[in-house]
Structure 1
């Protein structure tokens, strides 16, 4: 209850921009921000889902919404989001860099263009959006930025090599900016979920057995938002993930990589 009051105190009447808002963790974050009283700028590629979500949030929570269908793989997309918000007199005080996707399988068998697009969405767009909105938050001396990373950012992950590498980038960016921005009253946090109930696994093509023990997107979003307003530079929203990160500090990296390779190696087709 206390955390809900604190989140409402941060969000009430403020504008929050959520990328990748149409599904999974992004959808859960948008709903919880609206429940706390934030007005929402919702962006993703699928217009129909965004519009349905916006109507539901307005009806259920009485907040204002703005939907901006966009593909963050396009270099012009971040500037378009800035023009539609700050440029139109809507100050974004909460930025959630959530959009992203993965690929599961042998690196050399993955489509090169698809993997490059992954880097564009998971890394380049995050840098661009953060660089556009952070200076305005600094000028106002308040604001919150969440960058959604992953527990995959704590070790090399064979067979998800490019995805894990992009999430290292995201986490390091967030943790570094947390120090740069704090003196201006802006909080930056990396949310590092593990297996989560979302469309990620279907898009990435991960094996069915990876679905066991997935955390709900709602729980991940709640813990991520609580950590953000608490000023935590990173949040791992599940106990096993936190234990794994601590354990990895005491093991040689090659052991960790070998264990990950064994766990993630694709099953041979018969």
Structure 2
């Protein structure tokens, strides 16, 4: 889909946004949408070549300023390094996008322990760390927005147990901190996206690789930024995402978890 004529007018124009996990999927789409709206960018990710290419492309196409900082958020010291980098640039981060993510699909008991702990580090600890670093300045100046990429619904997800639990954590974290900072003119929103076109879902082949159920990343990004700009607590970028959040509340927990087990069960080898 061509987005060249879809330019949204946000109050963040000419300000700065920090986007983690900006090299692919929702993160890259959010960076593109922000740049198209005239927002300057600091982008982080693990792949230096991609960061450099995306940065150059967005500067050329949209006339913004952009910087990139290679960072691996599985490393506990990375959030502080990102903060130090933006402080060194002398830029004021008006929009913080906690998007970076990992996914490991399979039986927990045979999974890599390192991967399970890495998901907790990236989703939970890095999100808390970055939010704690950038929110105080937003509160002080009574201006700022934080977008946290969470999950559609708080239900068990067999074969994605750590992933789903960590995303549930950040959703509750976002909703709690939101209430704390609202009186200071600062907004925190949780993006409750469903399955999205991304390398994470493509590599994992979740649900048998049902590509027709995957929402385009740019569509998710556009709706996420519109919701963030409007100050919504939870942003559901599609009807499927909204239904996934609402329907489980009215069903027996055992039925929900059993259905999830069948949906997420890894395909048997041929």
TM range (shorter): over 0.9
Shift, 1:249, TM fit = 1.2
CA distance in 2: counterparts of 1:6 and 1:27, whole angstroms: 16
State the number of aligned residues. Answer: 266
Shift, 1:64, TM fit = 0.5
CA distance in 1: counterparts of 2:167 and 2:253, whole angstroms: 17
Task: Identify if the C-alpha distance between structure 1 residues 205 and 267 changes in structure 2 by more than 3 Å, giving closer, same or farther.
Answer: closer
More deviation, 117-126/77-86: 77-86
CA distance in 1: counterparts of 2:189 and 2:110, whole angstroms: 34
What residue number does 2:260 align with? 260
- Structure 2 residues not aligned, in runs of 5+: none
What residue number does 2:24 align with? 23
Render the CA deviation track for 1:20-60: whole Å, top value 9, x for unaligned: 00001000000110111111001000010001001111111
Native 8 Å contact 1:86 1:92 kept in 2: no
What residue number does 2:223 align with? 223
Shift, 1:154, TM fit = 2.1
Native 8 Å contact 1:150 1:193 kept in 2: yes
Native 8 Å contact 2:223 2:237 kept in 1: yes
Task: Identify if the C-alpha distance between structure 1 residues 169 and 14 changes in structure 2 by more than 3 Å, giving closer, same or farther.
Answer: same
What residue number does 1:34 align with? 35
Shift, 1:268, TM fit = 2.6
Q: Structure 1 residue 131 and structure 2 residue 132: aligned? A: yes
Shift, 1:5, TM fit = 10
Render the CA deviation track for 1:174-206: whole Å, top value 9, x for unaligned: 111111111111110000111111101244453
Q: Secondary structure at the match of 1:114?
A: helix
Q: Secondary structure at the match of 2:145?
A: strand
- Structure 1 residues not aligned, in runs of 5+: none
CA distance in 2: counterparts of 1:176 and 1:219, whole angstroms: 27
